[in-house]
A and B are shown apart, each in its own frame.
Chain A
């Protein structure tokens, strides 16, 4: 356990000692800030329109502002996470420092979990850095706190899933760009699988859509906590961490 934390701390520090981490954080806050303004403006204009239109239902802060806004942040995380995770193994192997980990008294599980935890900590910090938008909303309005909590839990779980995929692709190659592209392609695929269920029908379409991250992220984003979604996240992350472990082991034996 201590070894995991030692490795995780080094990985986390790396993001703060290189410009990449700060750059990602800045870009992320600028884009989310822009989206926040857009969403709030749209919500305010619509609400005004509804105030003068007796035939329209009033908007719900949770469904019409929180869910779409945090859904957009999740998509941005989908694109940023591969850039955060790409270096975890690839850079270590390219600059040969990985040999230090391999010849230290730590297990492969500890290496994998340490790197995952380090990358995940930074990605999680990014998600939590959007907290001021939530505080603003609580200050000026009365958002459903359950939906808000659900949205944050959902974003953290999604980020954890994104980072798990990125961890595996980073372990597959010494080239960070290849790791980035592979992770991005994989994640977009897992995201878009939900569309199969919307277009087609039958057991195959249903199975594919059940495998999609989007299918399981959407309910929690609305504040609906279902056990099956949590189980999905758990097995998704578990699968990719296990695959990473096998990949790292194969470096020793392959």
Chain B
């Protein structure tokens, strides 16, 4: 459904996106991951047709975005990082305007249906700037949906929202992704990706560094997290001696991070049991894979409060 070929975008001297290639099949939900400034927004804007590519091309359902902008835009809904809303219009007026310029035949009916879908019924008469951030985000999402597009491109749809709002938007996206609709969403909230997406594309400094299903990415390297009640040096030594263990890192509070080249959960559990085994986690988390691939320091990859998602 979406195909990106050797896409590059230059801003003056700075190469924001370099030779990016990827494909997204119809009905797939793909997460676009990467640190800030990695080129996620640039790639998405090129797909949505609001930015031109320096070289390479982006195809939506076989149509080149640059050559057939109208046809592509009619089938693609885009939610930029900041919802593209007119602050002093009412929700209803704004969406009717969006529906009209997107070529919807019956704007009024489309607006009513879309408002219901994003949970904004009864908000038609409200002025957009009087709404909370979460509701403005919904208005932005409604704008992307009003022409019932086959492809949805969402740039950090949950940024700046509180956990409850984030969950609502996430549930909404999962609902929208049902069926035939193809969705690309960027985020740096990793649990969100694990929650919604089937596949992730990790981009770093304008290049794709990994592209795979979440399970495959997470199992690239076996990492075991361990917590025991009575940590001591002999335990650490014993773990180190298990065949296949590559690295053991002892952390505060009796916690260990063990990297291995196979599934060593049983072996580790046996050794750790006498030392009061409290917790053992086998599978590498997506965040570990992400940090490793984007060359960030690993260490104890506990997420800061802002990225932890209690919802």
Do A and B share a complex? yes
Cβ of A100 and Cβ of B98 under 8 Å apart? yes
Q: Is B116 an interface residue, CB under 8 A from the partner?
A: no
Q: Is B303 an interface residue, CB under 8 A from the partner?
A: no
User: Which chain A residues in 240-254 approach chain B with CB under 8 Å?
Assistant: 252-253
Q: Is A97 an interface residue, CB under 8 A from the partner?
A: yes
The docked-state distance in angstroms from the alpha carbon of A97 to that of B86 is: 6
B152, chain A: closest CB distance, angstroms = 12
Q: Count residues of chain A with CB under 8 A from any CB of chain B.
A: 24
Cβ of B87 and Cβ of A252 under 8 Å apart? no
Cβ of A99 and Cβ of B50 under 8 Å apart? yes
Chain B, Cβ-Cβ closest to A6:
B100
Given the known interface contacts A7-B101, A10-B97, the answer about A102 and B88 at a Cβ–Cβ threshold of 8 Å is: no
Cβ of A17 and Cβ of B88 under 8 Å apart? yes
Contacting B103 at CB < 8 Å: which of A14, A96, A105, A252? A105
Chain A, Cβ-Cβ closest to B102:
A104
Residues of B within 8 A of A106 (CB): 70, 101
Q: Is A101 an interface residue, CB under 8 A from the partner?
A: yes
Instruction: Determine chain A's interface SS by DSSP, over half rule.
Output: helix
Q: Is A53 an interface residue, CB under 8 A from the partner?
A: no
Q: Count residues of chain B with CB under 8 A from any CB of chain A.
A: 29
Residues of B within 8 A of A10 (CB): 86, 89, 97
Q: Is B275 an interface residue, CB under 8 A from the partner?
A: no
Cβ of A103 and Cβ of B50 under 8 Å apart? yes
Q: Is A95 an interface residue, CB under 8 A from the partner?
A: yes
Q: Is A42 an interface residue, CB under 8 A from the partner?
A: no
The docked-state distance in angstroms from the alpha carbon of A104 to that of B97 is: 11
Question: 0/1 per residue, A2-26, Cβ < 8 Å to B?
Answer: 1100110010011001100000000
Cβ of A103 and Cβ of B49 under 8 Å apart? yes
Cβ of B84 and Cβ of A96 under 8 Å apart? yes
Cβ of A101 and Cβ of B101 under 8 Å apart? yes
Cβ of A252 and Cβ of B50 under 8 Å apart? yes
Cβ of A105 and Cβ of B50 under 8 Å apart? no
The docked-state distance in angstroms from the alpha carbon of A96 to that of B48 is: 15
Given the known interface contacts A6-B101, A100-B143, A253-B52, the answer about A105 and B70 at a Cβ–Cβ threshold of 8 Å is: yes
Cβ of A104 and Cβ of B86 under 8 Å apart? no
Cβ of B52 and Cβ of A100 under 8 Å apart? no
Q: Is B78 an interface residue, CB under 8 A from the partner?
A: yes
The docked-state distance in angstroms from the alpha carbon of A104 to that of B103 is: 9
Q: Is A239 an interface residue, CB under 8 A from the partner?
A: no
Q: Is B69 an interface residue, CB under 8 A from the partner?
A: yes
Cβ of B74 and Cβ of A105 under 8 Å apart? yes
Residues of B within 8 A of A252 (CB): 50-52
New A-B contacts (14) at CB < 8 Å, excluding given A2-B100, A102-B49, A105-B74:
A6-B97, A6-B101, A10-B86, A14-B88, A17-B89, A96-B83, A99-B78, A100-B84, A102-B50, A103-B49, A105-B102, A105-B103, A106-B70, A252-B50
28 A-B contact pairs sorted by A residue (CB < 8 Å): A6-B97, A6-B100, A10-B86, A10-B97, A14-B88, A17-B88, A18-B88, A96-B80, A96-B82, A96-B83, A97-B86, A97-B87, A99-B82, A100-B85, A101-B101, A103-B48, A103-B50, A104-B73, A105-B69, A105-B70, A105-B101, A105-B102, A105-B103, A106-B70, A106-B101, A107-B69, A107-B70, A252-B50
- In the A-B complex, list the 9 residue pairs whose CB atoms are closest, starting with the nearest: A102-B50, A100-B84, A105-B73, A99-B84, A105-B70, A253-B52, A96-B82, A6-B100, A103-B48
